[in-house]
Each structure stands twice: as C-alpha cells, then as structure tokens.
Chains A and B, each alone.
Chain A
Amino acid sequence: MDFNLSKTQILFQQMIHQFAEKEVKPLAAEVDEMERFPLETVQKMGPVGIMGIPIPVAYGGAGGDTLLYTMAIEELSRACATTGVIVSAHTSLCAVPILEYGNEEQKQKYLPRLATGEWIGAFGLTEPNAGTDASAQQTTATPEGDSFILNGSKIFITNAEYAHVYIIMAMTDRSKGTKGITAFIVEKGTPGFSIGKKEKKMGIRGSATCELIFENCRIPKENQLGKTNEGFKIAMKGLDGGRIGIAAQALGIAQGALSETVKYVKERKQFGKPLSAFQNTQFQLADMETRVQAARWLVYRAASLKDQKVNFSSEAAMAKLFAAEVAMEVTTKAVQCHGGYGYTREYPVERMMRDAKITEIYEGTSEVQRMVISAKLLK
C-alpha cells in the first residue's frame, strides 16, 4: 500500500495549484456576487487541457486518469466551487459518458471539442417530479422515421445556457419504468429545445442552473447514446463517476476554508494574543485538518478504484457523503473562527459555507448516498 503521490501527480498538482491561485481565485468573489458564469476561465482551461483530463489523447484529451481529474476539481474548488462544478458536470456527466457509451462517430464528433473546452457539456436527468426518484421521468422520446421527438422538461441543469452538448434522459417505453429510459445527445440550437428559468441560488452562484424545455424537439436517430432502454444505467454509472467529482469539490471547499482559517487566526488578535494562541482555536483546527485529510483519502481511493476499473459505486457514495458533510462542518467552523468578519463578504469563508451545502444535495442527496452504501452491505 502506497499513500504517496507519484511524480506525475506532484507535477500536476504544481500546475493546477498555480492555475487556481492565479486564474481562478481572483475571480471567485465577483463570480459569486454577480452570479456570473466565468466563461473566460473555461477558455483558459481549454488549451491547458483541464476540460479533458480523463479523455484519451486519440479524442483530443489529455490522456490522464480519474485521480488527476479529481485533484483538478479539488484544487479549482479550493479557490472557487463554481469553477469546480463547471468542470465536474462537463467532464463526469457529459464527456465521460460519451467516451464510455458513445459509438465511434459520436466520440469523433463530440469528444475533441469537449476535451479542448471549445464546447461545454451538460447532463439532464432531474425533472420537476423526478428528483431523488429519477425513475419517475416524464420527458418522452418518440421515434418518428429517422428521428426521435422529445417532449418534456428538465430542471436544475448545471452549465445549461453555456453548454453546447447535453445528455438527456427520456422515456422510450413508459410501461417499463427505469428499463424504459434511453439517453440522447442533444445539441444547443436544435429547434424545439430552449432554455427556461434560471435559478437564483444560495451557493455556487456563478454556475448556471436552468430549466431545459423540449417541445417537439426533433433529434436524429444517430444521437441516441448507448442502447435503447439502457439510459437509466448510463445515468446511474455517470452519476457514480460524477460523485467522485462532487466529493472532490466538497474536499476542495473544505481545504480552502481551512487554509483561510489558519491564515486568519494567526493575524487576528484578541486579549492581546493572536486567536491561534487559544487552545479552543487550536483544537478546532486540529479537528478540521483531521476530517479534511480523512475525506481526501476516501476521495482519492474512490478515484483510484475507478481507474482500476473495478466496482466503485459504494466507495464513490462514501466519498461524496463524507466529504460533503466535512465541507459543511469545516466551513461552519471556519466562519465561527472568523467571528463577525467571517459572516461578511469581506472574507471568502462566508461564500464557502454557502457553497458547501450543495454538495450534500446534487448528484444524489446524502440520503441517497446512504441508500447506495447500505444496499451493498445488505445485499
């Protein structure tokens, strides 16, 4: 058992850390305040290869593995959780499913542009009446000649508005429930496909979260992703991988809040001493650090299991469940250690605490992660 990073991983961390510090962190407060999608950051990440880390070189990607990708989401989210989820939804929920389930034409057509960041990807599963119960899909896809006609709507879709490629789940056979769902690739600008209401959110406010509306939206048959009625499996597998990304996002937020707190308690003086001289502060920091490290190894292990191509569903669920709870706990403590200043937007921990909450909700709530973990135990 080796818990050391490889030379490649160390070199990668050096780059991604610098990138996050120089290109991402300076924008984070403004992106949050103005609810602004940081498109210029995506345009910078593209040429560096950050938008296609686990995509093979043959398809225009960087040829990296899940672990490098995980480290990237962690570092980006340490600086700005909005940027973290943009890359995570794009990669885990759009590019990787196309890589894993797409046919050769689909891979050739979409991956090079996604991997270089020229195009942004999104994933639409959730509907107004199908949240945790994703099987209750009401969007339908009806075959007609050499097309499918999509009707229905999706909500809470990350990267919507900015994405060029969407993976959409729709019912192809209502009588079969989850076994009657098929996945489709829908391109921006397809007639009958429009973007609806944009959500105003508590956190990750720079990430676009919108409704998608399909009104007799005709898509060519060749845009079916994977086999007919296999969509639910594709969505669940996609989410297994996506959860590693979100776990890494939670880890990054927690690490960011911890680092800010370490800096702050050394500077702020009360009773003639820096806050760091009080034993309570020291113990809070010790607990925060311990939890962040524990989360880190759960997350890295889930990523490395995915790279080994063994089943990692339960480990991904544990990583997300734990890291998300650590992010909530650590950011809350971070605000506490900052006192009143931490409650204001003068300090980034205020934003981090708001950003942390979403990691307990999307890509399966913490309750869903517990279902996944216990289901395996009780099998």
Chain B
Amino acid sequence: MKIVVCIKQVPDTTEIKINPVTGTLIRDGVPSIMNPDDKGGLELALELKEKYNAHITVITMGPPQADTILREAMAMGADRAILLTDKRFAGADTLATSHALAGALRKLDFDLLITGRQAIDGDTAQVGPQIAEHLGLPQVTYLCDLSFDGKRTFTLTREIEEGYQLLEAEAPCLVTVLASARNPRYMRVRGIVEAYSREVETWGFDQIEVNEEYLGLKGSPTQVKKAFAKDMKAPGSVYEAEPEEAVGIIISKLKEKFII
C-alpha cells in the first residue's frame, strides 16, 4: 500500500495571543508545530505501515522553514518527504493551496491520501475535500478507522453526529482525520538522529502538474473582511439552589440587568 499524508506547519495556537488594539494574532515568538489533525493522520498512516507494510510519503506546502515538520514526520517513521515551495504558491487561500497540492499529487502514485480534518490556524476544513474534488477521488471525512483488503478496497468507519457510518471505497481515495481519533506516537530517538541526514525533496512549480492561474494570490478568491478577538466573558456567578428558588434568583438577576 502506498500512502501520502498532507501535513501543515502551524503556529501553536495554544500559545498565541491577540493584539488587543489591532485584533490580529501576535505570531512573534510563537512556536511552530505540526498541525494536530495532520499528526493524527500521520499516526493513522504509521499504524497502516505496521499492519500492511505501507510506504509513507509526507508532503507539505509552505515556506522553507516547514522543513522542520517533515523531519519530525520522518523521525516518527515516514519514508519520504516532499517540501512544496515556490514564490508562485505564496498568498494562497485554501483553494489555491489545494490546487498546488493536487498538482503535486498528480505526480505521485498512491492508494490512500490522508489529510487532517482542519488546520488550527484557519479551521476551514476545506483543503482535504477540495483536493479530492480536483483529483476526482472518493473522499471520506472524519475517519475513525479503516482496513484494506490488500487489493483495491478500503472499509472505512466514519464518525457522524449520531454514531458511526461504515463505508467502502476503492483506492485511490482520500480520508480526513481528527487529532482526537488517534494518539500520535513520539518521534523515535533513532529517527531523530537520522532525520537531518535524510533527504527532503524540494518541489516547485516546475515539478508539479497544475494550471498556474489557480495558484498563489491570483488563484485565491477568499478575502478576509475583518479579524477580531472575541470579548472575554466575565466569570459568571454560581448558585446552588432547588429549582423553585433558582427560578426566583434567575428572574431577579434578569430584572436587575433590565433584560426583562
């Protein structure tokens, strides 16, 4: 089985602060990490590697510094790493990003394509499904588990609000994975020791198969109208009371604030 996992480098949003004046993210000094859902996807791939002896390629589109997460992925057990980087990709929204990735994926042979559900810096959950559309692949989002018959057919379990869906799909297909569905392994010490002596392939526009119109800023229809920080709510008051007494408390509080 051949697997490709798309991974993204993101700022660790648990460490991020918002500039109260401009309402924008302060990214300075915030550590960069592998997007958690993508790491969940990589863990799924690594489990499949152990089970089916799969070969794993990781690919990321990003600036040269994104090299770090590819090294991390190799230290976890990925076999091949590709950094997709080119000035012509810069300024991409989710659509242009998915076109660039699809362009690279046309040059790769795979049975299974895994992406994270969404990235913590954008939370759009669009890139995975868009890639599937560009490449005409069946897609299964919110994947929990999967098995492979060794030839062409995947049996997939997908999480939905009321429970689980059991599906079948033909290879090649795309799945998106949640961080919570998997407990990613630690990088292996041996993998870390070897990570920087292994090759990360760098691919630019010339290595991929895509219409240049679809890329970068000019291929990006999304415009950010406004970014703002949500107001912090003051901590509420907690009362312990029997229902009848509680109704009284609520009504008097609402009256106090002239809501009723």
Contacts and interface: CB of A to CB of B under 8 A. Distances in A.
Interface of A: 6-8, 11-12, 14-15, 18-19, 47-50, 52-53, 57, 61-64, 68
B72 interface: yes
B118 to A, nearest CB: 22
Contacts of B195: 8, 11
Interface size class of B (residues with CB under 8 A): 10 to 19
Interface string B102-146: 000000000000000000000000000000000000000000000
Contacts, number: 55
24 contacts: A6-B196, A8-B195, A11-B187, A11-B192, A11-B195, A11-B196, A14-B72, A14-B187, A15-B186, A18-B186, A19-B186, A47-B188, A48-B185, A48-B188, A49-B188, A50-B189, A61-B190, A62-B192, A62-B193, A63-B193, A64-B189, A68-B189, A68-B192, A68-B193
Contacts of B186: 15, 18-19, 48
B175 interface: no
Interface string B1-15: 000000000000000
Best-surrounded residue of B71, B186, B192 (most CB of chain A within 10 A): B192
Contacts of B196: 6-8, 11
Nearest to A22: B186
Interface in B144-178: none
Contacts of B95: none
Nearest to B71: A11
A62 B190 contact: yes
Contacts of A52: 189
B72 A62 contact: no
Contacts of B192: 8, 11-12, 15, 62, 64, 68
Nearest to A52: B189
Q: Is the interface of A mostly helix, strand, loop or mixed?
A: helix
A61 B188 CA distance: 11
Q: Is the interface of B mostly helix, strand, loop or mixed?
A: helix
Contacts of B189: 12, 15, 48-50, 52-53, 62, 64, 68
Best-surrounded residue of B72, B187, B189, B196 (most CB of chain A within 10 A): B189
Interface in B47-63: none
A62 B75 contact: no
Interface of B: 68, 71-72, 75, 185-190, 192-196
A62 B187 CA distance: 12
B188 A8 contact: no
Contacts of B185: 48
A63 B191 CA distance: 10
Nearest to B187: A15
Contacts of B188: 47-49, 62
B18 to A, nearest CB: 21
Contacts of A11: 68, 71-72, 75, 187, 192, 195-196
Contacts of A6: 196
A177 B134 CA distance: 79
B205 to A, nearest CB: 27
A302 B7 CA distance: 39
Contacts of A14: 72, 187
Contacts of A49: 188-190
Contact of A57 (B68, B75, B187, B190): B190
Nearest to B190: A62
Contacts of B187: 11, 14-15, 48
A50 B71 CA distance: 19
Contacts of A63: 190, 193-194
A15 B75 contact: yes
A48 B185 CA distance: 8
A49 B194 CA distance: 13
A4 to B, nearest CB: 14
Contacts of B71: 7, 11
Nearest to B195: A11
Contacts of A8: 192-193, 195-196
Best-surrounded residue of B71, B190, B195 (most CB of chain A within 10 A): B190
Nearest to A51: B189
A48 B186 CA distance: 7
Contacts of B190: 49, 57, 61-64
Best-surrounded residue of A6, A50, A62 (most CB of chain B within 10 A): A62
A126 B57 CA distance: 52
Contacts of A64: 189-190, 192-193
A367 to B, nearest CB: 35
Contacts of B193: 8, 62-64, 68
Given A7-B196, A15-B187, A48-B186, 6 more contacts: A12-B192, A48-B187, A48-B189, A50-B189, A63-B193, A68-B189
Instruction: Rank and list the top 4 A-B pairs by shortest CB-CB distance, nearest first.
Output: A49-B189, A62-B189, A62-B190, A15-B187
Contacts of A19: 186
Contacts of A62: 188-190, 192-193
B74 to A, nearest CB: 10
B170 to A, nearest CB: 34
A11 B74 CA distance: 11
A15 B192 CA distance: 9
Best-surrounded residue of B75, B187, B188, B196 (most CB of chain A within 10 A): B187
A61 B46 CA distance: 21
A8 B196 CA distance: 7
B96 to A, nearest CB: 30
Nearest to B188: A49
Contacts of A57: 190
